[in-house]
Amino acid sequence: MTRLTDFQQGFATAMLDVALPPPCSIRGAGFGSVARRFDIHRNRIATNLVQTLAERYPVTRRLIGPESFAAMAQLYTVHNPPRSPVLLDYGDTFPLFIRSLGRFPSIEYLADISDLELSLSRAYHAADAAPVSVDAFAQLSPDFLEDLVLSFHPSASLVASRFPIVSIWEAYRSEDEGQLVTLWAAEAALVARPDDEVRVWLLPSGGHAFLANLMKGATLAEATHAAADAAPDFDLIANLEMLISSRACIGIDSLALMAA
């Protein structure tokens, strides 16, 4: 234990817990209280972290307003200070935190929107990979289709909700007043960044079960069965078209080919 260790221990503890007074080894220009001076550092931490969350969760912020968002974000930062100086990942557990605030539909809905935003910001910084071209899919032999196994872009992920999260996100993604979402129904999304731009696709019926199984390494036949079980009106052609045009796949394999 060094003197510097002691000093930094005391300073950091008081920095993180606003209920604690500033450490006694610091002073202002005179002998009075140093609270305002100490708060410059405290405020800087809070401002930086709340700003980081605001940049990652802009639609969540717009939905509840900047004041409520700042209060919620500040509470989060106190209990979940960053573990890394790279803040690109800071707030990965923010949706989980929102969910923990209570079992109300309004909380669940906000948490689902923040889940979608988490997928978006993760996709933005995910590793690069070359998507499979539409032509490569077109050239597939029908004999191998059933045993087809796909690998996905590192940026690709799925989000599902019993609320219309994609429509709401679309409506509130710009600063302008969002249009009203008329159809209040469950929605699921595929998020991916095949090139520079992160994109969101609204999944057709059964699409979530279909893609979730494919992402786990199921064959096309297995994923189709799972999707049909989940949604009786599952449309394989519509789902395949969406998947191919999304360019979220980076590899095609066939179990039959691999065995051969």
Partner 1 sequence: MAPARPRFAAPTIQPESSGVSLTRGDACDLVAPGLAVDFFAVHAESNIGNGGPLPRWLERIRAEYPIALHSTGLSIGAHHPPDRDHIARLRQLIDRHDPSFFSVPLAWSTHEGTYLSAELPLPYNSESLTLVCRNVDQVQRGLGMRVLLENPASYLFLDETIMREGAFLHAVVEQTGCGLVLDIANVFVSAINLDCEPMGLVDSFPIDDVELLHLAGFSENTDDNGARLLIVDHQVRVPESIWAIYRRILGRTGPLPTVIERQQGSSFGLADDAAIAKQALRRAARQSMNRNQRQLGTAP
Piece of 43-51, 61-69, 91-99, 245-253 that binds partner 1 (CB under 8 A): 43-51
41, 130, 174, 184: residue in contact with partner 1 (rule CB under 8 A): 41
Assess 133 for contact with partner 1 (CB under 8 A).
Answer: no
Instruction: For partner 1, give the closer residue by CB, 194 or 206.
Output: 194
Least distance CB 39 / partner 1 (angstroms): 9
**From the list 92, 125, 140, 241, which residue makes contact with partner 1 (rule: CB under 8 A)?**
125
Q: How far is the CB of 10 from partner 1 (least distance, A)?
A: 10
Asked if 8 touches partner 1 (CB under 8 A), the answer is yes
Q: Which residue has the tokens 């802009």?
A: 58
Task: Please tell me whether residue 175 binds partner 1 under the rule CB under 8 A.
Answer: no
Please choose, out of 11-19, 111-119, 210-218, 241-249, the segment that lies near partner 1 by the rule CB under 8 A.
11-19
Burial class (CB in 10 A: 0-12, 13-18, 19+), 169: buried
Q: Are 155 and 131 in contact (CB under 8 A)?
A: no
The number of residues in the chain equals: 260
Alpha-carbon distance 76 to 56, whole Å?
14
Q: What distance in Å separates the CA atoms of residue 166 and residue 194, rounded to the nearest whole number?
A: 19
* Torsion (CA) 240, 242, 246, 250 in degrees, nearest 10: -10
Cα–Cα distance measured from residue 219 to residue 36, given in angstroms and rounded to the nearest whole number? 62
How far apart are the C-alpha atoms of 249 and 131, rounded to whole Å?
Answer: 6
Complex with partner 1: residue 86 or 237, whichever CB lies closer:
86
- 23 vs 207 by CB, closer to partner 1: 23
Does 3 sit near partner 1 (CB under 8 A)? yes
CB of 204 vs partner 1, minimal distance in Å: 28
Minimum CB separation from partner 1 for residue 184, in Å?
A: 34
Q: Which of residues 73-92 bind partner 1 (CB under 8 A)?
A: 81-88
- SS3 sequence of 128-180: CCCCCCHHHHHCCCHHHHHHEEEEECCCCEEEEECCCHHHHHHHHCCCCCCCC
3-class state of residue 127 by DSSP? coil
Of 84 and 139, nearer to partner 1 (C-beta) is 84
Shortest spacing between CB 247 and partner 1, in angstroms: 15
Residue with tokens 């069965």, as numbered in its chain: 225
Kindly determine how many residues on this chain lie close enough to bind partner 1 according to the rule CB under 8 A. Answer: 49
Cβ nearer to partner 1, comparing 123 with 214: 123
Contact between 208 and partner 1 by CB under 8 A: the answer reads no
Task: Please check whether residue 190 is in contact with residue 207, taking contact to mean a CB–CB distance below 8 angstroms.
Answer: yes
Q: Which of 120, 112, 127, 126 is nearest to 55 (CA)?
A: 120
- Kindly list the residues in this chain that would bind partner 1 in the complex (CB under 8 A): 2-5, 7-9, 11-12, 15-16, 25-30, 32-38, 40-41, 44-45, 48-49, 81-88, 123-128, 154-155, 193, 196-197
